[in-house]
Amino acid sequence: MNITIFNTPKTEIHLHIEGSLEPELMFELARRNNITLPFSSIQEIKEAYKFNNLQEFLDIYYQGANVLRTEQDFYDLTYAYLKKAHKDNVVHTEFFFDPQTHTDRGIGFDIVFNGIYRATQDAEKEFGITSLIIMSFLRHLSEEAAFDTLEASMPYRDKIIGIGLDSSELGNPPEKFERVYKKAKELGFKLVAHAGEEGPVDYIWSALNLLEIDRIDHGNTSLNDDKLVDYLVKNKIALTICPLSNLELKVCTDLKNHPIKKMIDLGMIATVNSDDPAYFGGYVNENYKQIFEKLNLSIDDIKTLAKNSFKASFLDNEKKEYWLTKVDEHFASIN
């Protein structure tokens, strides 16, 4: 296996910043903030990272986020992720943060956002990596709570590219948030939503037709509907696929059966992302490597996935074309 194929320029566009909280940093922040963790060691935390479904993961995810208290905590979290992403030759990120996870604990929106944003600016100066920030609503909470969060974000409107929808998918269909998405669209936000991870194909259709999203986060179950596949290909609607996440959450029981190869063969704009890498066993290059091996992907498949990551991004067309050319040059140098 030629490791240089994974050093191609790429974006990562499905990453929850709270999900990049490594056990070592969790312990460090717990000490800093005088918080007692329900774990006695880093190893004990890692052993807890065995999940049977999305909800089991979310329970630990929210528990871990409790150590994030100050602006510096959010800075350190974000900077640590961007440093790791840079090592994986990620040149651009579009990541989520979950304000409600923190504001519901009494942490001010300004504390959360300012720490995150400051880290993106420093990382861009130091590594050249660019970032766009997406604010996610927690779908297990009410639409009224989402409206409150949208209102709280207004002072930072010029620094937040879009809104997303995450947390427990089953039982919380997209139509629950139709009104707040309409308002966000009026305000000029880009629109994305988790759909079709554990939820049915109907959730994807609802996210497209009712929420009018610009791209689909996950979307694994789209392959269950040929009409939907045709629609996504025709309209060039991208999917942000997270292979190791799918494996750990039992969305896919074996990477050898993961749908991403079929997706790119069908002409779908599927991308590779790490989702919550601290919990799921690897950052974006590890996801590329695992599917390369398990699905017997070709170098051309990896090139397609890397190019898809730029096509699916919210970068402007000039920057997309620049990086697409860089990907071509990278693979030409390999050949």
Q: What is the pLDDT of residues 95-128, one digit of tens each?
A: 999 999 999 999 999 999 999 999 999 999 999 9
Inform me whether the pLDDT recorded for 48 exceeds 80: no
Q: What are the residue ranges spanned by the domains of the chain?
A: 8-334
Residues 245-261: what's their mean pLDDT?
A: 94
Residue type, 314: F
The pLDDT, as a whole number, for residue 207 is: 98
For 91, phi and psi rounded to 5 degrees? -100, -10
Q: What is the pLDDT of residues 156-209, one digit of tens each?
A: 999 999 999 999 899 999 999 999 999 999 999 999 999 999 899 999 999 999
The pLDDT, as a whole number, for residue 70 is: 98
**pLDDT tier for residue 49 given thresholds of 50, 70 and 90:** confident
Provide the token pair at 333. 């140098």
- Say whether pTM exceeds 0.85: yes
Provide the token pair at 152. 């709280």
Q: What is the pLDDT of residues 203-229, one digit of tens each?
A: 999 999 999 999 999 999 999 999 999
Q: Which of 12, 71, 94, 197 is catalytic?
A: 197
- Annotated active-site residue 186? The verdict is no
Q: What is the Cα–Cα distance from 30 to 33, expressed in whole angstroms?
A: 5
**Largest pairwise CA distance in the chain:** 54
- Judged on CB neighbours under 10 Å (0-12, 13-18, 19+), 265 is exposed
Direct distance between the N- and C-terminal alpha carbons of the chain, in angstroms, rounded to an integer? 14
The pLDDT, as a whole number, for residue 2 is: 62
Inform me whether the pLDDT recorded for 234 exceeds 80: yes
The 3-state secondary structure of the chain, one letter per residue: CCHHHHHCCEEECCEEHHHHCCHHHHHHHHHHCCCCCCCCCHHHHHHHCCCCCHHHHHHHHHHHHCCCCCHHHHHHHHHHHHHHHHHCCEEEEEEEECHHHHHCCCCCHHHHHHHHHHHHHHHHHHHCCEEEEEEEEECCCCHHHHHHHHHHCHHHHHHCCEEEEECCCCCCCHHHHHHHHHHHHHCCCEEEEEECCCCCHHHHHHHHHCCCCCEEEECHHHHHCHHHHHHHHHCCCCEEECHHHHHHCCCCCCHHHCCHHHHHHCCCCEEECCECHHHHCCCHHHHHHHHHHHCCCCHHHHHHHHHHHHHCCCCCHHHHHHHHHHHHHHHHHHC
Per the prediction, the chain carries an average pLDDT of: 95
Determine the CATH number of domain 8-334.
Answer: 3.20.20.140
Say if CB 189 and CB 162 are below 8 A apart.
Answer: yes
The pLDDT, as a whole number, for residue 166 is: 95
